[in-house]
Amino acid sequence: MPPVPLAACRDLPSSVTVPAVIYLDHNATTPVLPEVFEAMRPYFCEEWGNPSSAYRFGSKLKGVIEAARAQVAELIGAQPREVIFTSCATESNNAAIHAALKANPRKRHIVTSAVEHSSVLNYCMALQRDGYRVTYLPVDRDGLLKLVDLESAVADETAVVSLMWANNETGVLFPVKEIAEFCRGRGVLYHCDAVQAAGKVEIDVRKVQADYLSLTGHKFHAPKGIGALYVRWKAPFSPLVHGGHQERGLRGGTECVPLIVGTGRAAELARQQLPEYGKRVRSLRDALEEEILSSIPNTELNGHKTERLANTTNITFHGVESEALLILLDQEGICASSGSACLADSDEPSHVVKAMKRESAASREMIRLSFGPANTGTDASGALNALRRSTQMLRG
């Protein structure tokens, strides 16, 4: 059933009943789908053996893992042997950069951007303390990356370029195909953090020829605690996590079979539903965004109008502190954020919006709203009215 359109929100009275929870933070995490949970359940309760065991009760689970690996590979157009399961996106991002640096120990230069996820930025800053040189590419006021800046930054000593597919705070899309082609032409390894893109846009590593590409299950309705890393066949790779022979010796540690199975099933569903995803969420996102910008004074969109994910809007409410606004929204059952969930306990402004609009206070006065396929026009209407009441109250 298609979502109810967001119509005439401007005329809705402020007394409209808001549901107990309106979840508009799908870029932070997504609910586990019932089909995903049912696929996982047997491997918690009945088939709980260790895949590394010699006896059949455990060893038969190797086939289950390989089936899930094939499902994840199909989501991104890869071969199953090119997919390594990890614990999360942070591990996948770190492992990719680590592998590229190990492959070229004499090259001690990394190129990334000022708006990457903290798992990339903080690792790069740690590497700087170890003597590596890092170039942080700027973005413009719309959050877009200029290829000319990348071309100017890459040098003979560059070991890896790490640039994301879609920004987690604004949804802005980077020109990943062109980035991959440039890196391949220069003989530089390219890592792409595709965590926010998976399940929202088509990913085909045969077209976007990254050497490494990071995913995590909980962004596309799998459980938390499970990620994946695509490593292009014959791309160099050295394990970040050393241990046993698991993952063909590329990532040690006993496999969490239920979470791997859940990620495989979620990837299968995401691939099936991708053609309809954008249609479902974009209409709601656009309608709510338009109403906020037109009916709430002193608001401003952060991010390019069209070159972004269909589900994401990031808006500055000038004169209103993000933290105060989120507290009031939470009291009305609205789940939103002021940026990456990984930095939710930090009082620092959004580094993404700060990089886009250095001269303004927008990075301390913004919130992100990110839709999922289950959201409806009623959700959007409730969020709009809550935003109206909250901003009016905070502005006195």
Q: Which residues are catalytic?
A: 342
Q: For 151, which DSSP code?
A: H
C-alpha distances out from residue 168 to 197, 306, 314, Å: 9, 15, 10
Q: What is d(CA 80, CA 73) in angstroms, rounded to the nearest whole number? A: 5
C-alpha distances out from residue 148 to 75, 145, 160, 303, Å: 31, 9, 17, 20
Q: What is d(CA 120, CA 369) in angstroms, rounded to the nearest whole number? A: 23
C-alpha distances out from residue 202 to 209, 286, 329, 390, Å: 14, 21, 33, 37
Joined together, the tokens standing for residue 115 give 């708006």
The number of residues in the chain equals 396
Q: For 19, which DSSP code?
A: P
Residue 136: phi and psi, rounded to 5, are: -105, 105
Q: What is d(CA 6, CA 24) in angstroms, rounded to the nearest whole number? A: 15
Q: What is d(CA 57, CA 73) in angstroms, rounded to the nearest whole number? A: 26
The one-letter amino acid at 159: A
Q: What is d(CA 339, CA 352) in angstroms, rounded to the nearest whole number? A: 8
